[in-house]
Amino acid sequence: MARRAKARASIHFFANPGRFLRAARIAYPWCAGVAGVCIAAGLVLGLYLVPADYRQGDAYRIMFVHVPSAWMAMFIYVGMAVASAAGFIWRHPLADVVAKASAPVGAAFTFIALLSGSLWGQPMWGTWWVWDARLTSMLVLFFLYLGYIALQNAFEDPTKGARAGAILALVGVINIPIVKFSVDWWNTLHQPATISKVDTPSMHASMIAPLLLMVVGFTAYYFMVLILRVRGEIAARRIRNLRLAQAGH
Amino acid sequence: MTELAQGARFAAENLACIRGERPVFSGLDFTLESGGALLLHGPNGSGKSSLLRILAGFLQPVDGRLTWNGAALGEAPEAHRERLHYVGHLDAVKPTLTVAENLRFWARSRGHPQAADDALARLGLDALADVPGRFLSAGQRRRAALARLFATPAPLWLLDEPTVTLDAEATARLEGIVRAHRAAGGMVVVATHTEIGLEEATRIDMGEHSVSVEAAVGASADDSPGDADDEPW
Amino acid sequence: MTELAQGARFAAENLACIRGERPVFSGLDFTLESGGALLLHGPNGSGKSSLLRILAGFLQPVDGRLTWNGAALGEAPEAHRERLHYVGHLDAVKPTLTVAENLRFWARSRGHPQAADDALARLGLDALADVPGRFLSAGQRRRAALARLFATPAPLWLLDEPTVTLDAEATARLEGIVRAHRAAGGMVVVATHTEIGLEEATRIDMGEHSVSVEAAVGASADDSPGDADDEPW
Amino acid sequence: MVRAFLGILGRDLKLAVRGGIGSLVAVVFFVIAASLFPLGVGPELNLLARIAPGVIWVCALFATMLSLDRLFQEDYEDGNLELLALGPLPLELVVLAKVLAYWLTTGLPLIIAAPILAVLLNMSLSGFTILLVSLLLGTPILSLIGSVGAALTVGLRRGGVLISLLVLPLYVPILIFGVGAVDGAIVGLSVRAYLFVLAGGLLGALVLAPVASAAALRMALE
Amino acid sequence: MVRAFLGILGRDLKLAVRGGIGSLVAVVFFVIAASLFPLGVGPELNLLARIAPGVIWVCALFATMLSLDRLFQEDYEDGNLELLALGPLPLELVVLAKVLAYWLTTGLPLIIAAPILAVLLNMSLSGFTILLVSLLLGTPILSLIGSVGAALTVGLRRGGVLISLLVLPLYVPILIFGVGAVDGAIVGLSVRAYLFVLAGGLLGALVLAPVASAAALRMALE
Ligand code: HEM
Ligand SMILES: Nc1ncnc2c1ncn2[C@@H]1O[C@H](COP(=O)(O)OP(=O)(O)OP(=O)(O)O)[C@@H](O)[C@H]1O
Ligand SMILES: Nc1ncnc2c1ncn2[C@@H]1O[C@H](COP(=O)(O)OP(=O)(O)OP(=O)(O)O)[C@@H](O)[C@H]1O
Ligand SMILES: [Mg+2]
Ligand SMILES: [Mg+2]
């Protein structure tokens, strides 16, 4: 019996979520608060207080959602790859759970960037979609996210799903710059789209404040959701353990 | 068969195994010397197949260590792979290759191509040598899987319920084969539910090592709410 | 279990079977009455599984006839399907469905949804009811396959090596289950290599009916060239 | 009978749901495949608009075909097909239930995703409705014909690819009428005739395909 | 080591040959799929010529992908993969041998069939050589990247379709450079840069893909 107890203790020695949960408990209200305040302030500033653009009218205000979500989409994928690398090398469950919990958030931001860009495109270019280099690589990123999520879901055993996902995320992260590079090249060598490319409007100083607020807010929101999802994941694992233990023999 | 290392020692200390996030067994020790045999038995789901997969190196034990002549296995996984034969629940017989072709592939990959014909004869498969795997009955396919044991000499045999679907004659042949292997200094680990003629085998009842339900559930139920965070993932 | 037809009679006359263009057995007869049991044994490849597939209606015998209460089976294949349970070498357990879901599907499709829970208990699977099929060990999966016997009452059970991978306890359960089935008027045909507690069973040694390779090859070699045209295809 | 039919349908849908996003993969493949075309053909919107109906239909066809091998193969390998064949439902209806579940999890999502692709490929708005209608009539035919191919190859290890070989030639008429309807609608012609042919094809396939598939499955179980 | 490598290669080729026409299905799919396009897009020769390189490359991509699930799945299910993992050859080299056999039976036939399709699609003659060279460099990369997808999904029942979702986004650069080379050659530009990139990709994939695949396979065997 003593031996069994020892085995139990050492089996789980390195896999203890306690520290994470305690830290998360402190961080969560801060993240939630910063996200709420920054996003609210950014939206008020961006949608009401900043003057309309002289060329684009009010349509350009989509930027305050579009640009931060596009940045988050890329940032989260890199974060996922880093977490996956850590999870793969050290086999630490927390890294796996973080990667897994990030994916749907990243996919959602990618989707928002695509959708908002598309909505913006209609007034600006007169079409919902062009096969521009940046748009195309964003679309590919979206597919990579979907593949990752699908792969993880396909495994009955979540630890295996996490490791399979880690391999895919690492392969994918090598591929992203290659896709970006090739798509850039593709679009410049074919004759450019009938409608001229995104002309980056030089930014007025008044636009920078709401943009920054939104970026900070989105990042805080991401961490907030991450904490929630990791907690949920930990709880789910516990339930599974109990249920399986109950089912044993 | 004299090529087998004499005086080898394969030992496990305090092994523990988790599958699908659920502990299966823990605190398992054994020592196996040249010529020795280990007989695993125990109820369904007690972890016999899991243990064999750990011994073959497919699964990592979550705790404990495995040594060969005192050296931990993890240090030289290739060396370990070369000294074992594993026959699991699956037969690994290709349906479109003939029995002889199936076997020859394995014999050749370890550099003993001439071993294949001999192996067929030993399991009473000579008449089926040119039959494609797809046409075999359950027991014939099992024999073809067991014939791989002769593809190359290896000191450690890991057999997961080897007699399943074998008829009496083939079971007797297998017993003779294992006896000869041990006499030549080989070791064998066999999981089985039926009686199999293994003289002087160490018996392990996996049921005794399995992590009981009560222990697992009870432990977490006892925790005070504040401690819940320190539970395993 | 009193629903089973009493006084039924299942008979085979002069059955012959060819698989993969090779004759397997011929001249096989048997008669099975309510409460009776047929035990098929014989060496690997002698045709036990093939016979069971013929009795289930998957394979057509090349010769001979099968009757139920005197009526040829071929005349009402649906009626025959409804009166039998077949447990073959494959376990038919879906990896993503839980054990209970797996079973409930079969129970429901024949209109006995309430039978599922009872069936789990009888095979000692209650604790595994909510575990997905893919987490089962070999023996646990076999138990789940056998639990289907209770999904709906059927007078004729066809069991192909049912005890394979079962532990002693589950084997004893199965013996009890088969005994109760026969006591209620059911019939059972079991192929097996191990001893199984079947009282007063008719034993058929498939080896005696098998068409030996030599006989088959010899027969055609003996024919004078002129007669070759009269040979079967 | 009805209960057994619904039982199989329900089980297959449940298995698809348990497969997670995995079972939505047909539609994801559809979207990805169609977005690869601009990468191959170039980003000019006029050119894309011109080939859009064809690309969408061809990709719908591949997407339906791609998971056909899972239609019977799993059930065959794990022994479920044997038991379904022994069950109370005639094998023809078993096939129909399985094809219906298959269409609900592969064909229907395609139809929902088709407008997105039409936007991506810059297809003319006037073709959208007929695109959906033609897919609604056409994809069930694809599934039904596909089931025959799947049943014929079920015992073969290498079935997956062989199916496409058997099935693609049979898909040609559906492709032609499907694309014809959309092209017609874009140009402003009447497309009734096309749609009638598709509807007729659907009825024919509903009757014939399950019979052929069931015969093939019986053979595989020998 | 060499003998074990050749042994696996030889066995896989033998299995492919035993599979009969079944193993040539990739190329047949390639031809049928590419010939469906004129049916979908309409018979105008100019239009076809313009999209020909893209269509050929996209179809080559699908054809390679289509039988990927057979790369490891069979060996996994019948237990051969376990034994290969226990064999003397490191799993990375086992993967390489299997991918090589796979490419010889799917990629190479595509390259042989490609000129026929180019003729069918009215592609400009000046692109033929570069089409072949780009396929010769590109299809092995497709097979290698594909092996990672195949290895990741090997234990999953529904692998076949999931692979395409995992692998298609990774195929984008190869498609772009492959088509770019052919388009460039038709227009008369220098295509060196494209081919160098493809060659570099091939080297990179040769090193990285087997490592990733072997890691995934080890996991599947746990
Ligand atoms: C579906 C369509 C669109 C997608 C997928 C998309 C994608 C992106 C991405 C990925 C970025 C971040 C680029 C980086 O930081 O490297 C971005 C930034 C930006 N996008 Fe879009 N976009 C779309 C449509 C539009 C439209 C229609 C406009 C306005 C005409 C627009 C204007 C901008 C601006 C101003 C930025 C920030 C400037 C910069 O970082 O370069 N986008 N978009
Ligand atoms: N699918 C098949 N196609 C062709 N021949 C087959 C097939 N299955 C089995 N056979 C052959 O038919 C004969 C009888 O096989 P069967 O499976 O009935 O034997 P069995 O008595 O059940 O053997 P076992 O005890 O090994 O299960 C064998 O010689 C076998 O080679
Ligand atoms: N792939 C898997 N994933 C998760 N859990 C598994 C897996 N395989 C087996 N298990 C679980 O691990 C436990 C031990 O299984 P194992 O196969 O080792 O048992 P066994 O002793 O070989 O049983 P049997 O006599 O039935 O073959 C069982 O409770 C089983 O449910
Ligand atoms: Mg076992
Ligand atoms: Mg048998």
What tens digit of pLDDT does each residue of D24-34 get? 778 888 888 88
**Which residue from D202, D128, D201, D142 is spatially nearest to D171, judged by alpha carbons?**
D142
All residues at 6 or more sequence positions from A82 whose CB lies less than 8 Å from its CB, including other chains? none
Checking if the pLDDT of C228 tops 70, the result is no
Does residue A200's CB lie within 6 angstroms of at least one atom of ligand 1? yes
Burial of A147: CB neighbours in 10 Å, binned 0-12, 13-18, 19+: buried
Considering only CB atoms, which chain E residues are within 8 Å of A143? 165, 168-169
Mean pLDDT of chain E: 88
| Pick among B25, B140, B193 to test the C interface (most C CBs inside 10 A) | B193
d(CA B10, CA E102): 39
What is the DSSP-derived secondary structure letter of residue D43?
S
Q: Is residue A244 very low, low, confident or very high in pLDDT (cuts 50, 70, 90)?
A: low
Q: Are C194 and B194 in contact (CB under 8 A)?
A: yes
Task: State whether residue A244 sits within 8 Å of chain B by CB.
Answer: yes
pLDDT tens-digit series, residues C152-199: 889 999 999 999 999 999 999 999 999 999 999 999 999 999 888 888
Give, rounded to a whole angstrom, the gap between the first and last alpha carbons of chain A. Answer: 19
pLDDT tens-digit series, residues A18-63: 777 888 888 889 999 999 999 999 888 888 877 776 666 777 788 8
Ligand 2 geometric centre to CA of E156 (Å): 29
What mean pLDDT is predicted for residues C86-104?
88
pLDDT tens-digit series, residues C106-157: 888 777 778 888 888 888 888 888 888 888 999 999 999 999 998 888 999 9
Amino acid at E85: A
Does residue A134's CB lie within 6 angstroms of at least one atom of ligand 1? yes
Considering only CB atoms, which chain D residues are within 8 Å of E42? 54, 183
Q: Are C94 and C50 in contact (CB under 8 A)?
A: no
Mean pLDDT of chain C: 84
pLDDT at E70: 80
What mean pLDDT is predicted for residues C199-227?
62
Q: Is residue C224 very low, low, confident or very high in pLDDT (cuts 50, 70, 90)?
A: very low
**Which residue from B100, B101, B152, B89 is spatially nearest to B125, judged by alpha carbons?**
B100
**Which of C43, C138, C194 shows the shortest C-beta gap to B49?**
C138
Considering only CB atoms, which chain D residues are within 8 Å of A130? 43, 45
Run of H or E including B40: strand B37-41
d(CA B66, CA B61): 9
Structure tokens given for C93:
């357990």
Run of H or E including B38: strand B37-41
Considering only CB atoms, which chain B residues are within 8 Å of E80? 92, 94
Ligand (nearest to CA of C128): 3
Share of residues in chain B with pLDDT > 70 (%): 88
**Which residue from B130, B171, B123 is spatially nearest to B144, judged by alpha carbons?**
B123
Q: Is B211 helix (H, G, I), strand (E, B) or coil?
A: coil
pLDDT tens-digit series, residues E85-139: 988 889 999 999 999 999 999 899 999 999 999 998 888 888 899 999 999 999 9
Does ipTM exceed 0.95? Answer: no
Ligand 5 geometric centre to CA of B138 (Å): 5
pLDDT at B212: 53
Radius of gyration of chain E (CA): 18
Q: Do C44 and B164 touch (CB under 8 A)?
A: no
**Which residue from C23, B18, E17, C61 is spatially nearest to A12, judged by alpha carbons?**
B18
Of E211 and B96, the one with more pLDDT: E211
pLDDT tens-digit series, residues D135-152: 999 999 999 999 998 998
Q: Are B99 and B131 in contact (CB under 8 A)?
A: yes
**Residue ID of nearest Cα to ligand 1 atom 19:** A67
All residues at 6 or more sequence positions from A194 whose CB lies less than 8 Å from its CB, including other chains? D44, D45, D46
Q: Is residue D199 very low, low, confident or very high in pLDDT (cuts 50, 70, 90)?
A: very high
Burial of B208: CB neighbours in 10 Å, binned 0-12, 13-18, 19+: exposed
**Which residue from A70, A99, A94 is spatially nearest to A82, judged by alpha carbons?**
A99
pLDDT at E20: 64
Mean pLDDT of chain D: 88
Q: Please, what is the angle between helix D159-187 and helix E25-41, to 10°?
A: 10
Assign 3-class secondary structure to chain A. CHHHHHHHHHHCCCCCCHHHHHHHHHHHHHHHHHHHHHHHHHHHHHHHHCCCECCCEHHHHHHHHHHHHHHHHHHHHHHHHHHHHHHHHHCCHHHHHHHHHHHHHHHHHHHHHHHHHHHHHHHHHCCCCCCCHHHHHHHHHHHHHHHHHHHHHHCCCHHHHHHHHHHHHHHHHHHHHHHHHHHHHHHHHCCCCCCCCCCCCCCCHHHHHHHHHHHHHHHHHHHHHHHHHHHHHHHHHHHHHHHHHHHCC
Bridge-based pairing state of the strands B22-33 and B9-19:
antiparallel
Ligand 4 geometric centre to CA of B221 (Å): 31
Q: Are B177 and B149 in contact (CB under 8 A)?
A: yes
pLDDT at E160: 64
Share of residues in chain E with pLDDT > 90 (%): 47
pLDDT at C215: 42
Alpha-helical regions (H) of chain D: 2-18, 25-41, 45-66, 73-77, 80-86, 91-102, 108-120, 128-152, 159-187, 192-220
What mean pLDDT is predicted for residues E187-206?
92
What mean pLDDT is predicted for residues D13-27?
75
Ligand 3 geometric centre to CA of C127 (Å): 14
**Which residue from C216, C204, C122 is spatially nearest to C170, judged by alpha carbons?**
C122
Ligand (nearest to CA of C17): 2
**Residue ID of nearest Cα to ligand 3 atom 13:** B45
Q: Is B39 helix (H, G, I), strand (E, B) or coil?
A: strand
Q: Do B43 and C167 touch (CB under 8 A)?
A: yes
**Cα–Cα distances in angstroms (integers) from residue B76 to residues B57, B73, D48, in the given order:** 11, 6, 57
The angle formed by the CA atoms of residues B117, B184 and B114, to the nearest 5 degrees, is 20
Among residues 123-152 of chain E, which lie with CB inside 8 Å of chain A?
Answer: 148, 152
pLDDT tens-digit series, residues B100-158: 999 988 888 777 778 888 888 888 898 899 998 888 999 999 999 999 998 888 999 99
Structure tokens given for D187:
């140009």
Checking if the pLDDT of C1 tops 70, the result is no
Q: Do E169 and A189 touch (CB under 8 A)?
A: no
**Residue ID of nearest Cα to ligand 1 atom 20:** A67
Considering only CB atoms, which chain A residues are within 8 Å of D32? 143
